[in-house]
């Protein structure tokens, strides 16, 4: 079965393009465009009163979709923001210890790494970055205020093991466990039900949720950080009539909110989730299709001189293949010149697969790679 019709607008907009970077910027399905237009319609029709709908049914529907995907017992632990960096700032602001002792992996995304490096320059944090497969061992030794790790490492596609063990360490008075789920959410079946009261979980709609920018979320466990010092007025949206001088907070995940934001991402997210539901496309079903495309590509062995960092072995797998080799930058540029979108991180070429791919596209990609090399 082909799911290309769900992406008819994006595919028609650049018909000669091969887009193999679904792990980076997923092509928007038609439903995302429809959701965006719904946001425009409400803005024009409701004007000032649109926020009642956004912070009411639109918000609750998005929370419900995320809670169902992650098996969270309470959708109200979820807050939204334009990006996950906003949430990182608020979480760190709520930890009183300075310098802040942070344990993390050596494969975290640029945004987190850059922020930690900058704070370290001012001696506000002390960062211990270790190999992902040693993270749990290091965490068990204690002595850290914050443990931050990606569910799937963005550069190698390797999956973090031991999240339940990390969660067992979490306490409201420290340490706090933050899982960056950006490459895990809707790419891996994820069940947080047993640890939802212990860990923070960050992700967003830019990648596998297919909803574009501006719709990131945080699951915040109850009893952790009831009053984040870095805060915006939406964190007290229910209590705008409080007397001056009273800094109120929502009792749920909204305590981590900032200020006025672009709500169109929420509309896109909800529209895409409804599309997936109507098409019978679960995370498992999409992953099965992607895994089949990955295996098909590997069987053709178009990159014999590059090391595959995350082999397909029948276990849960990232939605991209990460090939390491000195030719990675050159190959990425040569593919880009032919209107083929992949991405490169240093000497690692990442090739991301999606439900808008079939063997025809994979054959074309493999053939062009052989032609270049």
- Which residue is it, tokens 């014999």? 304
Q: According to CATH, where is 3.40.640.10 located in the chain?
A: 32-275
| Sequence ranges of the chain with CATH classification 3.90.1150.10 | 4-29+281-372
CA distance 35 to 265: 8
Q: Outline where 131-257 has alpha helix (H).
A: 135-140, 163-169
Q: What DSSP line would sit under 73-122, residue for residue?
A: S-GGGEEEES-HHHHHHHHHHT---SSEEEEEETT--HHHHHHHHHHHHT
pLDDT of 244 reads 66
CA distance to 193, 260, 284, 321, per residue, from 298 (Å): 35, 46, 21, 9
Question: What confidence score (pLDDT) does residue 73 get?
Answer: 98
Cα distance between residue 88 and residue 362, in whole Å = 38
For residue 251 the two structure tokens come to: 């009792």
> Rounded to an integer, what is the distance from CA 244 to the centroid of its chain?
37
Is 94 within 8 Å of 121 (Cβ atoms)? no
Q: Which residues pair with 149 in a beta bridge?
A: 179
Residue identified by tokens 């995350």 is 310
Task: Return averaged pLDDT per consecutive 10 residues of the chain, 373 residues in all.
Answer: 95 98 96 98 97 97 98 98 98 97 96 97 98 97 97 95 97 98 97 98 97 98 97 81 74 96 98 98 97 96 94 94 96 97 96 97 96 92
52, two tokens: 């009642």
Task: Quote the pLDDT of residue 120.
Answer: 97
Q: Which two tokens stand for residue 129?
A: 């970055």
Q: What is the pLDDT of residue 65?
A: 98
For domain 32-275, the question of CATH label 3.40.640.10 is answered with yes
Domain covering 4-29+281-372 assigned CATH 3.90.1150.10 in the classification: yes
């Amino acid at each position: 079965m082909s799911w290309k019709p769900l992406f008819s607008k994006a595919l028609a907009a650049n018909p000669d393009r091969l887009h193999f970077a679904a792990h980076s910027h997923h092509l928007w399905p038609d439903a995302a465009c429809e959701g965006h237009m719904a946001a425009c319609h409400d803005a024009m029709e409701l004007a000032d009163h649109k926020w009642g709908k956004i912070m009411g049914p639109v918000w609750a529907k998005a929370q419900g979709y995320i809670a169902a995907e992650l098996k969270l017992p309470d959708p109200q632990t979820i807050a939204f923001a334009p990006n996950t960096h906003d949430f990182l700032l608020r979480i760190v602001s709520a930890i009183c210890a300075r310098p802040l002792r942070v344990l993390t992996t050596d494969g975290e995304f640029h945004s987190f790494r850059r922020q930690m490096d900058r704070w370290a320059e001012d001696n506000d944090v002390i960062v211990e970055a270790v190999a992902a497969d040693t993270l749990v061992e290091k965490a068990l030794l204690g002595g850290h205020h914050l443990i931050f790790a990606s569910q799937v490492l963005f550069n190698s596609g390797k999956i973090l093991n031991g999240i339940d063990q990390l969660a067992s360490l979490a306490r409201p008075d420290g340490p706090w466990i933050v899982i960056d789920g950006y490459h895990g959410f809707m790419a891996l079946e994820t069940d947080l039900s047993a640890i939802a009261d212990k860990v923070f979980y960050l992700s967003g709609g830019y990648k596998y949720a297919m909803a574009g920018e501006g719709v990131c979320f945080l699951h915040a466990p109850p009893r952790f950080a009831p009053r984040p010092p870095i805060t915006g007025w939406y964190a007290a949206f229910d209590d705008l009539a409080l007397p001056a001088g009273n800094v109120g907070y929502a009792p749920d995940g909204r305590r981590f909110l900032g200020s006025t934001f672009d709500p169109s991402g929420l509309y896109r997210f909800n529209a895409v989730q409804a599309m997936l539901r109507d098409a019978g496309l679960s995370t498992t079903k999409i992953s099965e299709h992607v895994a089949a495309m990955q295996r098909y590509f590997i069987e053709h062995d178009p990159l014999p001189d590059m090391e595959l960092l995350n082999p397909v072995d029948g276990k849960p797998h990232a939605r991209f293949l990460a090939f390491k080799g000195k030719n990675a930058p050159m190959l990425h540029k040569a593919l880009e010149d032919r209107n083929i979108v992949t991405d490169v991180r240093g000497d690692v070429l990442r090739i991301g697969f999606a439900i808008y791919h079939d063997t025809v596209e994979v054959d074309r990609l493999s053939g062009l790679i052989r032609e270049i090399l």
